Amino acid sequence: MASWNSIRLEVTYEVLGWIAFVSWSISFYPQAILNYRRKSVVGLNFDFLVLNMTKHSSYLVYNAAMFFSPTIQRQYHEKYGFKEMIPVAANDVAFSVHAVALTAFTLFQVLIYEHGNQKVSNTCIAITTAVLVSALVCVIIASPKHSWLWLISVFNTIQVIMTAIKYIPQAVMNFRRKSTVGWSIGNILLDLFGGVLNFSQMAVQSIDQDTWVNFYGNIGKTLLSLEVVFFDLLFIFQHYILYPAKKEEVVQERVNPLIKSPNKSVSTNV
């Protein structure tokens, strides 16, 4: 089994991982708090939430299975070499559990707070259904041959795809409204910080092991970090450059939830 060559790099790896966990975990709270204060979820795209739940659920399956299953770890080492370390750390599992719980809580807020006439789009429903059916088919295919590493790799691929598309409905909605009111920038800043740290953590492990297998052995984690950084920078550009909130708009948000008028429809469909 692989082990660390440098104690210093091992400590750095753990520190970076848990700081990323804290940053990513805290990133869920600004949106939930904003929803609570406004008693409204208008401005928060529901497609984003549904796709986000699909993404984090898939990522949880991958992380938990890779971290806890000796069988999957053996299959991983048989494929990439017994000197290689598994590409999932304890902080990855902890983050996935927390992410699923907080996303579920935010979805609950959608049910109890003012949401105007926003709804989940047919496109989102179709995508989510296709993903669930595909996952079920893959489980059926993998079971007879016990291809568990391949199966969790499918879930890892699902989370990569969901990460790539989940931000699009919110970005489009911000563009159509010419506003980011109702969408917490605190979430984005913390998310960006966590993504950079996550990528740095993988780099530290690769430096210690003198191999880049860590990156392509867990391509999902690699692409996740890159996607997070890209979309977070896009949202920061929208919030601070394209559609900066006016003072009177912020005051109005604190007094009255942003409720869409009958004459102006805001569609969440993409």
What pLDDT sits at residue 100?
97
pLDDT tens per residue across span 112-161:
999 888 899 999 999 999 999 999 999 999 999 999 999 999 999 999 89
Contact 250, 107 (CB under 8 A): no
Please give the C-alpha separations between residue 181 and each of 11, 168, 205, 267, 269, in angstroms, as whole numbers: 40, 17, 40, 15, 18
pLDDT tens per residue across span 229-245:
899 999 999 999 999 87
Contact 28, 189 (CB under 8 A): no
> What is the pTM (predicted TM-score) of this model?
0.77
Question: How many CB atoms are closer than 10 A to CB 39?
Answer: 12
What pLDDT sits at residue 247?
53
Grade residue 253 by pLDDT with cuts at 50, 70 and 90.
low
Is residue 270 pLDDT above 60, yes or no?
no
183 vs 171: CA distance, rounded Å: 10
pLDDT averaged over every residue in the chain:
87
Tracing tokens 């208008």 back to the chain, one arrives at: 42
Using DSSP's 3-state secondary structure scheme, residue 40 falls into strand
Look at residues 86, 158, 134 and name the one whose alpha carbon lies nearest to residue 142. Answer: 134
What pLDDT sits at residue 223?
79
Please give the C-alpha separations between residue 59 and each of 81, 93, 128, 258, in angstroms, as whole numbers: 23, 9, 15, 33
Radius of gyration of the chain (CA): 20
Grade residue 257 by pLDDT with cuts at 50, 70 and 90.
very low
135 vs 128: CA distance, rounded Å: 11
